[in-house]
Structure 1
Amino acid sequence: MSKQSIFGRIAQLAKANINALLDSAEDPKKMLDQMVRDYTNNIAEAETAIAQTIGNLRMLQDDHAEDVRAAQEWGQKALAASQKADEFRTAGKALDADKFDNLAKVALQRQLSSENEAKQAEPTIASQEEVVEKLKSGLTQMKGKLTELQNKRNELVARQKTAQAQAAVNDAVKSIDIMDPTSEVSRFEEKVRREEARVRGQQELAASSLDSQFDQLQDLGEQTEIEARLAALKAGGAQGQLSN
């Protein structure tokens, strides 16, 4: 299992989750919380995959160590059999000597087989060790990104709350403007002014009517004076005629 196969699959999953969240985002806080949960799950999935990869590597290493150990043991057995064959040959026991030489050859064959298996496994082990180190590094980076995501989530949620609080203040200010008591006073003042104007109009109208009445009385007085003088003239004329 390679680094790309693990993190590539997880990256595609994470990207799909994020795109789905962005498409259906209504509440930013819920979206961010879900992103944190999804990324945490992705890390857990990566940890499981990496643990399996490490487990496979350890099995390869154990098998390699077993092959190396077996090669050493077969080498020791080959040496012991060869030495035993030499002893029998020195003693003139050629048949026994050949028997142990054959055992030495079998041991050497087993030794060679174990060495070959160990050598064949070494490139694979080296490659898997490199992959495991990269996977560990990638996992560390993922955890760092998770911390960044959590911090960013906290920051954005705090900023959202601040924005909401500011919006509430702005709404309150607008409400104060709408319910501005000075505007109500102005309306009342305008009403009073109209009432005062109406009263002045009535007063002017009343004064106009009173002046008209006085004018009528003045006209009546003049007419009475004229009538009195006319009567006087007539009375004076009549007296003059009588005296003659």
Structure 2
Amino acid sequence: MAKQSIFGRISTLVRANINALLDSAEDPQKMLDQLVRDYTNSIADAEAAIAETIGNLRLLERDHQEDVQAAAEWGNKALAASRKADQLRGQGSTTDADKFDNLAKIALQRQISEENQAKAVEPTIAAQTEVVDKLKDGLNGMKQKLEQLKAKRSELLARAKTAEAQNKVADAVKSIDVLDPTSELGRFEDKIRRQEALAQGKQELAASSIDAQFNQLEDVGELTEVEARLAALKGGAQPAQAAIDAPSVPYTP
């Protein structure tokens, strides 16, 4: 039963579709690691079972060979006894001749017994030989699957590392995207723009205040000139002359 169990496991694993197993697995790497362990353990069990089966087969073959050899030896003894009986009978020694004929019969009986034993074990040897051949084929298939698993595992690990590196690069590029208004640089730039706009507004406000002061200066100058001309008129000067003679009054803020 143990050998049959090992043989059944070999057949199942050899027929297993590795790609289908990986597609259905949540974590292909863990699945591969477990499969590699299962295959390795199954191969070790299979090798032990096959070695035991081969050992039993060799014992059967050795016993069969001994039976065949014993049958041949008993045949030779029967032939030798029969010839001795014929020789003695030719010499007129009937009693001794009958004795050797009886020995020949006993040898022939032993020969038949050994031949029967040899024939009886031959079907078992044939069946065991077929089982051993199938076990060897199954074991070779498992070893091939194991190599496929190891290669697939290496491929997946390399792809996983590449994908991880690509994701890290993509995340790094995204984190320094200056065009992204939600990024830190984008918010900092927006803050600077607001500060620049505030400074510009203050500058424009200051410039507007200075212009107003200069406008006031011009208005004061005009009023001062009017007062001077009025004073000149009151002093009896002509308007035109008063305008010429009117002293220029400096503006004192």
For Structure 1 versus Structure 2, the TM-score category normalised by the shorter chain is 0.7 to 0.9
CA 1:163/1:24 → structure 2, altered by over 3 Å: closer, same or farther?
closer
Q: How far apart, in 2, do the equivalents of 1:214 and 1:7 lie?
A: 115
Percent pairwise identity: 53
Moved more, 98-107 or 146-155: 98-107
Q: Return closer, same or farther for 1:70/1:55 CA change in 2, 3 Å cut-off.
A: same
Deviation at 1:159?
Answer: 0.7
- Using the TM superposition, give the Cα deviation of residue 131 of structure 1 relative to its aligned residue in structure 2, in angstroms: 1.6
8 Å contact kept, 1:3–1:135: no
The total of aligned residue pairs comes to 226
Matched residue, 1:148: 148
Tell me how far apart the structure 2 counterparts of residues 72 and 229 of structure 1 sit (CA, whole Å).
Answer: 172
Check the 8 A contact 2:10/2:138 in 1, yes or no. no
Q: Is the 8 A contact 1:3 1:134 kept in 2?
A: no
Aligned to 2:239: none
Q: Which residue is equivalent to 2:220?
A: 217
CA distance in structure 2 between the partners assigned to 1:39 and 1:143 by the alignment: 8
In the alignment, which residue of structure 2 is the partner of 1:201? 205
Looking at structure 1, the residues matched to 172 and 137 of structure 2 have their Cα atoms a distance apart, in angstroms, of 52
Deviations along 1:91-118, one digit per CA (max 9) or x if unpaired, are 3322222222221111111111111111
- Secondary structure of the residue aligned to 2:176 is helix
Q: Are 2:6 and 2:45, in contact at CA under 8 Å, matched by a contact in 1?
A: no
CA change 1:167–1:39 in 2 (3 A) is same
Unaligned runs of 5+ in 2: 237-253
Answer yes or no: is the 8 Å Cα contact 2:10–2:46 preserved in 1: yes
Residue matched to 1:51? 51
- 1:107 match: 107
Cross-structure match for 1:242: none
The amino acid across from 1:81 in the alignment is A
Call closer, same or farther: CA 1:13–1:149 in 2, change over 3 Å. Answer: closer
TM-fit CA distance, 1:194: 2.6
In the alignment, the residues of structure 2 paired with residue 111 and residue 90 of structure 1 have an alpha-carbon distance, to the nearest angstrom, of 26
Amino acid aligned to 1:194: L
Of the structure 1 ranges 215-224 and 95-104, higher mean CA displacement relative to structure 2 is found in: 215-224
Matched, 1:5 2:8: no
Q: Specify the code of the residue in structure 2 equivalent to 1:63.
A: D
> Is 2:77–2:107's contact at 8 Å kept on the other side of the alignment?
yes
Instruction: Look up the match of 1:241.
Output: none
TM-score where L is the length of structure 1:
0.76
Code of the residue aligned with 1:110 in structure 2: it is R
1:216 positional shift? 6.7
Kept in 1, the 8 Å contact 2:25–2:31? The answer is: no
2:240 alignment counterpart: none
Structure 1 segment 1-244 matched on structure 2, within 5 A: 5-10=5-10, 25=27, 29=29, 31-177=31-177, 184-185=188-189, 187-208=191-212, 211=215, 213-214=216-217, 217=220, 221=224, 224=227, 228=231
- Once the two structures are TM-superposed, the CA of residue 68 in structure 1 deviates from its matched residue by 0.6
Could you tell me how far 1:158 is from its partner in structure 2? 0.8
Letter in structure 2 aligned against 1:121: V
Deviations 1:191-214 (A, max 9, x none): 212311232123324534654x44
User: Unaligned 5+ residue runs, structure 1?
Assistant: 234-244
TM-score, scaled relative to structure 2: 0.73
- Tell me the CA shift for residue 78 of structure 1: 1.0
> Could you report, residue by residue, the CA deviation over 1:138-182 in whole angstroms, capped at 9, with x for unpaired residues?
111111111111111111111111111111111111122166757
What letter matches 2:202 in structure 1?
R
**Structure 2 Cα separation of the partners of residues 10 and 198 of structure 1:** 87
**1:238 maps to which residue?**
none
Distance apart, 1:6 and its partner CA:
2.1
SS of equivalent residue, structure 1 residue 105: helix
Task: Rate the CA distance shift 1:137–1:64 in 2: closer, same or farther, 3 A.
Answer: same
From the superposition, tell whether residues 11 and 225 of structure 1 become closer, same or farther in structure 2 (CA, over 3 Å): farther
